[in-house]
């Protein structure tokens, strides 16, 4: 959906450019002529400026008066308005509007029309639609920041579903925060207060958003999380839920501690994982990739891959993906950043074998959500290791999940032809 809107906005710019290209070229040529005359000393600088402003102003008036830009934008706006509000539009619909006098009364901002529809869905849509909106927030934010902030606030209201989803929409919305660039500290902190019936996984999302937000100062992070911990204590959350806060802070301090080698970091994180509750383990699994520095070259340089954090990353990923672990811990191993890490390590002799084994383990998981999520990145695997890609596809074709099986068959046909 975000690609459609981006194209709409680019189309608007393209229409304006095409309609006014001749006028712009004419203006530029005349201004250049006046500039040359000014440089030769035949006119003063003031006369040159007055002439340039007059030419540009005249052409802008002509472009506006012509009505071409206005009319074409009206047709585009009407189309987008129909698409977002009525679901579809035919050429007959447009012609009926153009035949009447209504066209001059139907100027609609395509972006606003689209976001109004998304806002309506976030209020009255199904839970599945609201979940999709939550996951699309980073892309929506790139299109229009102010409209998206309104939708975020709407999504974060306490919309509890008793039967199945509980606070799933709220959790997914909070999880999107770390993928949205340049959200202000004020906005983030104002939206992350604990609410009644917030699940422990919503609290994990809140903790992640606070700890790993670069706009929030260290002392503010600790203060905010301790306030959440106090709220959890007085609202009778279980002890293993409450200890998550302290363990998350300990994990954060370890991965951000400068001067400590990777082996020492990994050792402390393993101990924290082994001694922690289920929810501490889920938090560590989701953020295990952070043991590597943000600008680390360990995944880009074969020498570094064999001597620094890459082997330890594989060890920690192996620890989290063991079958004995809870499914929510194993699901964290198929997060995009972790899979990208494993794909990167396929390129190095020292790490290729273990990285390949981990990716195959994900593809063989009984919980179909894990191989399905992995398969979304199958083309990335193909770019690095075609043989592994083919093995994953063949394995996925044998899956009991219909969606995964169809995806595998289609991808096999595209990448390798029909391989039986």
Kindly state whether residue 181 falls inside one of the protein's structural domains.
no
Kindly state whether residue 74 falls inside one of the protein's structural domains.
yes
Phi then psi dihedrals of residue 166, to 5 deg: 55, -120
**What is the model's pLDDT at position 30?**
61
Domain that holds residue 20: 2-109
Kindly state whether residue 71 falls inside one of the protein's structural domains.
yes
Tokens 């399905």 belong to 372
Kindly state whether residue 165 falls inside one of the protein's structural domains.
no
**What is the model's pLDDT at position 416?**
80
Kindly state whether residue 83 falls inside one of the protein's structural domains.
yes
Distances from the Cα of 126 to the Cα of 120, 156, 159, angstroms:
11, 15, 12
Kindly state whether residue 288 falls inside one of the protein's structural domains.
no
Kindly state whether residue 72 falls inside one of the protein's structural domains.
yes
Helix axes 336-345, 349-363, angle to 10 degrees: 140
- Give yes or no for a contact between 41 and 50, defined as CB atoms under 8 angstroms apart: no
Kindly state whether residue 286 falls inside one of the protein's structural domains.
no
Percentage of the chain lying above the pLDDT 90 cut:
9
* Residues 396-404: contacts with CB under 8 Å, at least 24 apart: 396/363, 396/371, 399/368, 399/371, 400/368, 401/368, 401/371, 401/372, 403/372, 404/368, 404/371, 404/372, 404/375
Record the pTM. Answer: 0.69
pLDDT single digits (tens) 398-420: 888 888 888 888 888 888 875 44
pLDDT, the chain, mean: 75
The residues with which 173 forms a beta bridge, in sequence order, are: none
Residue that wins the pLDDT comparison between 331 and 112: 331
Q: For the stretch 231-263, what's the b/e string if a residue is b when 16 or more beta carbons lie within 10 angstroms of its beta carbon?
A: ebeeeebeeebbebbebbbebbebbeeeeeebe
**What is the model's pLDDT at position 7?**
47
pLDDT band at 128 (very low <50, low <70, confident <90, very high): confident
Which H or E element spans position 74? helix 68-86
Query: Region 104-133: what's the mean pLDDT?
Result: 75
Query: Region 55-70: what's the mean pLDDT?
Result: 50
Q: Residue 197 half-sphere exposure, CB side, CA atoms within 13 Å? A: 11
Query: Region 63-82: what's the mean pLDDT?
Result: 49
Contacts of 305 (CB under 8 A, 6+ apart): 298, 299, 345, 348, 350, 351
**What is the model's pLDDT at position 9?**
46
Query: Region 140-145: what's the mean pLDDT?
Result: 83
Query: Region 13-42: what's the mean pLDDT?
Result: 59
User: What total of structural domains would you count in the chain?
Assistant: 1
**What is the model's pLDDT at position 420?**
47
């Amino acid at each position: 959906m975000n690609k459609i809107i981006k194209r709409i906005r680019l189309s608007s710019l393209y229409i304006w450019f095409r309609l006014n290209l001749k006028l712009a070229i004419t203006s530029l040529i005349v201004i250049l002529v006046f500039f040359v005359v000014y440089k030769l000393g035949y006119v003063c600088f003031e006369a040159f400026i007055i002439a340039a402003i007059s030419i540009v102003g005249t052409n802008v008036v002509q472009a506006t008066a012509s009505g071409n830009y206005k009319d074409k934008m009206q047709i585009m706006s009407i189309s987008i308005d129909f698409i977002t509000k009525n679901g579809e539009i035919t050429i007959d619909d447009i012609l009926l509007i153009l035949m009447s006098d209504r066209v001059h009364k139907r100027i609609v901002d395509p972006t606003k029309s689209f976001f109004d529809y998304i806002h309506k869905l976030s209020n009255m849509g199904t839970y599945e639609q609201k979940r999709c909106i939550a996951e699309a927030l980073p892309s929506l934010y790139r299109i229009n920041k102010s409209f998206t902030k309104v939708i975020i606030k709407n999504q974060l209201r306490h919309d509890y579903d008793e039967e199945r989803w509980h606070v799933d929409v709220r959790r997914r919305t909070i999880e999107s925060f770390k993928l949205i660039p340049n959200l202000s500290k004020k906005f983030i902190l104002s939206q992350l207060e604990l609410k009644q019936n917030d699940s422990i996984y919503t609290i994990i999302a809140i903790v992640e958003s606070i700890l790993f937000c670069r706009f929030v100062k260290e002392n503010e992070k600790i203060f905010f999380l301790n306030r959440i911990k106090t709220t959890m204590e007085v609202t009778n959350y279980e002890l293993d839920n409450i200890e998550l806060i302290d363990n998350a802070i300990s994990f954060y301090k370890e991965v951000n501690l400068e001067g400590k080698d990777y082996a020492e970091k990994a050792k402390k994180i393993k101990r924290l994982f082994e001694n922690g509750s289920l929810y501490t383990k889920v938090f560590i699994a989701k953020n295990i990739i952070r043991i590597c520095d943000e600008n680390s070259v360990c995944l880009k340089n074969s020498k570094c891959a064999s001597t620094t954090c890459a082997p330890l990353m594989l060890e920690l990923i192996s620890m989290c993906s063991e079958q004995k672990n809870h499914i929510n811990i194993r699901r964290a191993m198929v997060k995009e950043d972790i899979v990208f890490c494993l794909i990167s390590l396929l390129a190095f002799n020292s790490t290729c074998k273990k990285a390949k084994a981990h990716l195959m383990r994900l593809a063989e998981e009984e919980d179909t959500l894990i191989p399905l999520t992995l398969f979304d990145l199958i083309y990335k695997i193909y770019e690095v290791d075609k043989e592994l890609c083919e093995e994953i596809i063949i394995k996925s074709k044998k899956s009991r999940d219909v969606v995964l099986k169809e995806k595998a068959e289609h991808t096999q046909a595209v990448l390798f032809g029909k391989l039986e």
